[in-house]
């Protein structure tokens, strides 16, 4: 078909486009390697290097900005003016920045040309290992056994960094007030490091608890999910009758008695005692009032007491030692 003015214009535009970018040479006289090492995907990285004219004549060099940008590379400056040769052998410092966001994970090698006016074909080989930081979680499901209200149970998991770059991690519960807490909740692991994380279950009421803990690592879209389940048990008793009324009794006469029934309505054994008359409770109260180790919220964490057990031996020993010291001071 006959050519039209529009066809001529399009052909001219294509010719200009093809001629505007120099063709890559089929071989290079010299190749220089710029090694970035292990690089986190999505984190820009910079590196400095120096070009020196080791010849006798002046030299100018240019980098194809468009071509470099297509590969995520930018150079500053992108053009080198006249570099004097011997005996000064002038140098030029350059800064190269790599945008790792669009790059695939894994080893990377890019060979990009340097245009040296009137000189041989030269290339820079950019090398990097693109990595996503991550951690391994030792356990993804935790089922706590039946736990009394106001008591705690803990389980530990381990986070391991098996990657070649540091990993900044955090753990957050899906629902606040879920009954599960994490300590520590965030941190940073160097390559091959590990850390134990304590997950605590503290029920505030009697019900089934279920929540998910999400482990996130900076610069990694992947999320690890830890499923936590537990059940709280309240201590409940029923006293029958709830109100006691004694018959009139004359002074120095026989006492009046009423029988009552205490029924354990909870799912766990219950120990019942009188706050006013139980001598063991009154003694233990004195021990606890002077004990050391209370936290800021007024609580002291101790191993759970089974029904019928007394205070831990260490508290009794501390109390006796303190009393002996006080007695010695008074006797002096």
Q: Are strands 180-183 and 194-201 parallel, antiparallel or unpaired?
A: antiparallel
CA 99 to chain centre: 25
Closest CA to 225 of 155, 177, 171: 171
pLDDT score of 14 more than 80: no
**The tokens of 8 are what?**
């001529």
> What is the arithmetic mean of pLDDT over 214-239?
94
Residue identified by tokens 């080989």 is 125
Q: Are strands 30-40 and 122-131 parallel, antiparallel or unpaired?
A: parallel
Q: Which residue has the higher pLDDT, 8 or 255?
A: 255
Alpha-carbon gap, residue 171 to 5, rounded angstroms? 66
| Confidence tier at 52 by pLDDT (50, 70, 90) | confident
In tens, the pLDDT along 118-177 reads 888 889 999 999 999 999 999 999 999 999 998 999 999 999 999 999 999 999 988 777
Burial 210-244 (b: 16+ CB within 10 A, else e): ebebebbbebbeeebebebebbbbbbeeeeeeeee
Task: Give the chain's mean pLDDT.
Answer: 86
Residue 241 and residue 263 in contact, taking contact as beta carbons nearer than 8 Å: no
**The tokens of 53 are what?**
């004219």
In tens, the pLDDT along 251-279 reads 887 788 888 899 999 999 999 988 888 88
> What is the arithmetic mean of pLDDT over 227-252?
90
Q: What is the pLDDT of residue 231?
A: 94
Q: What is the pLDDT of residue 17?
A: 34
**The tokens of 293 are what?**
């180790």
> What is the arithmetic mean of pLDDT over 74-85?
84
| Confidence tier at 39 by pLDDT (50, 70, 90) | very high
Q: What are the start-end ranges of the E strands in the chain? A: 30-40, 45-52, 59-62, 73-76, 79-83, 91-98, 106-116, 122-131, 136-137, 141-143, 147-148, 153-160, 167-173, 180-183, 186-189, 194-201, 208-217, 223-233, 237-240, 261-264
Q: Which residue has the higher pLDDT, 88 or 147?
A: 147
SS (H, E, C) 113-167: EEEECCCCCEEEEEEEEEECCCCEECCCEEECCCEECCCCEEEEEEEECCCCCCE
pLDDT score of 76 more than 70: yes
Q: What is the pLDDT of residue 135?
A: 96
CB atoms under 10 Å from CB of 114, counted, come to 20
> What is the arithmetic mean of pLDDT over 70-81?
86
CB atoms under 10 Å from CB of 253, counted, come to 8
Q: Are strands 45-52 and 91-98 parallel, antiparallel or unpaired?
A: antiparallel
Closest CA to 61 of 27, 87, 92, 88: 92
Alpha-carbon gap, residue 78 to 91, rounded angstroms? 15
> What is the arithmetic mean of pLDDT over 51-73?
86
Percent of the chain with pLDDT over 90: 40
pLDDT score of 330 more than 90: no
pLDDT score of 193 more than 70: yes
């Amino acid at each position: 078909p006959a050519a039209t003015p529009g066809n001529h214009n399009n052909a001219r535009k294509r010719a200009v486009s093809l001629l505007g970018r120099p063709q890559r040479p089929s071989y290079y006289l010299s190749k220089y390697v710029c090694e970035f090492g292990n690089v986190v995907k999505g984190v820009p990285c910079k590196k400095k290097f120096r070009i020196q004219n080791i010849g006798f004549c002046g030299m100018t060099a240019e980098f194809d900005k468009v071509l470099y940008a297509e590969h995520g590379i930018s150079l500053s400056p992108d053009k080198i003016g006249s570099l004097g040769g011997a005996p000064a052998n002038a140098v030029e410092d350059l800064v190269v920045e790599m945008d790792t966001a669009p790059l695939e994970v894994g080893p990377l090698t890019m060979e990009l040309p340097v245009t040296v006016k009137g000189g041989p074909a030269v290339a820079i080989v950019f090398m990097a290992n693109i990595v996503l930081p991550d951690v391994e979680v030792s356990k993804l499901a935790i089922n706590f056994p039946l736990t009394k209200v106001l008591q705690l149970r803990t389980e530990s998991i381990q986070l391991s960094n098996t990657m070649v770059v540091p990993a900044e991690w955090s753990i957050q519960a899906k629902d606040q007030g879920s009954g599960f807490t994490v300590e520590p909740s965030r941190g940073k692991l160097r390559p091959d490091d590990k850390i134990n994380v304590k997950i605590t279950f503290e029920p505030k009421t009697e019900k089934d608890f279920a929540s998910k803990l999400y482990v996130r690592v900076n610069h990694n879209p992947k999320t690890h999910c830890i499923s936590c389940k537990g059940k709280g048990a309240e201590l409940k008793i029923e006293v029958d009758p709830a109100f006691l009324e004694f018959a009139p009794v004359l002074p120095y006469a026989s006492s009046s008695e009423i029988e009552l029934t205490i029924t354990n309505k909870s799912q766990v054994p219950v120990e019942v005692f009188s706050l006013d008359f139980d001598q063991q409770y009154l003694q233990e109260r004195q021990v606890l009032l002077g004990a050391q180790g209370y936290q800021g919220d007024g609580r002291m964490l101790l191993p759970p007491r089974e029904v019928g057990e007394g205070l831990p031996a260490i508290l009794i020993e501390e109390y006796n030692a303190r009393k002996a010291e006080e007695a010695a001071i008074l006797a002096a």
